Structure 1
Amino acid sequence: MNASTYVEPSESQPEIPLLGGDVTEGVVRVGDTVRRPVGSNAPLVHALLRHLEEAGFEGAPRLLGIDAAGREVLTFVPGEVAGRPRPAWIADEERLASVGRLVRDYHDAVAGFVMPDGIRPDQGVSRPPDLPPAPPYPAEVMGHADYTPDNIVFRDGRAAALIDFDLARPASKVDEMYNTMLYWAPLGDPADADPLLREVDVPRRCRILADAYGMSDADRSRLVEVAVLRTRRSWFSMRHIAEERGGGWARMWAEGVGDQIKRCEAWLDRNGAAIDAALTAP
Structure 2
Amino acid sequence: MTESSLPGGSVNTVVRVGNTVRRTASARTPYVSGLLELLETAGWDGAPRHLGVDEHGREVLSHLDGHVAWEPRQPAAVSSDASMVAVARLVRAFHDLTAGSALAADQEVVCHNDLSPRNTVYRPVGGELRPVAFIDWDLAAPGERIHDVAHVCWQYLGLGPSVADAADAARRMRLIADSYGLGRRLRRGLVSTVLWWQDRCWRGIQAEADAGDPAMRRLRDAGAVTEVRTAYRWVSDHRDVLERALG
Identical positions, percent: 35
Q: CA RMSD in A?
A: 2.0
Note the residue ranges of structure 1 that are not aligned, 5 or more in a row.
Answer: 1-12, 121-137, 191-196
1:146 and 2:114 matched: yes
**Which structure has more helix as a fraction of its residues?**
2
Q: Computing the radius of gyration over CA atoms, which structure comes out larger, 1 or 2?
A: 1
Partner of 1:62: 49
**Amino acid across the alignment from 1:266:** R
Superposed CA deviations along residues 76-132 of structure 1, whole A, max 9, x for unmatched, are 11111112143122332211211111111111122242139xxx9xxxxxxxxxxxx
* Alignment-derived partner of residue 110 in structure 1: 98
CA change 1:143–1:59 in 2 (3 A) is same
Aligned residue for 1:29, secondary structure, equals strand
| TM-score (normalised: structure 2) | 0.90
Partner of 1:93: 81
Say if 2:34 is the partner of 1:50.
Answer: no
Q: Distance in 1 between matches of 2:72 and 2:191?
A: 29
Residue 233 and residue 16 in structure 1: after superposition, are their counterparts in 2 closer, same or farther (change >3 A)?
Answer: closer
- 2:204 corresponds to which residue? 237
Deviation at 1:244, TM superposition (A): 3.4
1:255 is displaced (CA, Å) by 2.2
Question: Aligned in 2, Cα 1:115/1:93: closer, same or farther, shift over 3 Å?
Answer: closer
Structure 1 residue 245: Cα displacement: 5.4
1:185–1:203 contact (8 Å) kept in structure 2? no
Counterpart-to-counterpart distance in 1, 2:184 and 2:123: 31
Match of 2:147 in 1: 175
Alignment of 1:193-204 (within 5 A): 198=164, 201-204=168-171
Residues 111-126 of structure 1 aligned to structure 2 (within 5 Å): 111-115=99-103
Which of 251, 254, 258 is equivalent to 2:218? Answer: 251
Give the count of matched residue pairs. Answer: 241
Q: Which amino acid aligns with 1:147?
A: L
Correspondence for 2:21: 34
1:20 to 2:8 alignment: yes
Q: Using the TM superposition, give the Cα deviation of residue 70 of structure 1 relative to its aligned residue in structure 2, in angstroms.
A: 1.0
Letter in 1 for 2:53: I
The answer as to whether partners of 1:96 and 1:209 remain within 8 angstroms in 2 is: yes
Flag structure 2 segments of 5+ consecutive residues without an equivalent: none
Using CA pairs below 8 Å that are at least 6 residues apart, which structure has the higher relative contact order? 1
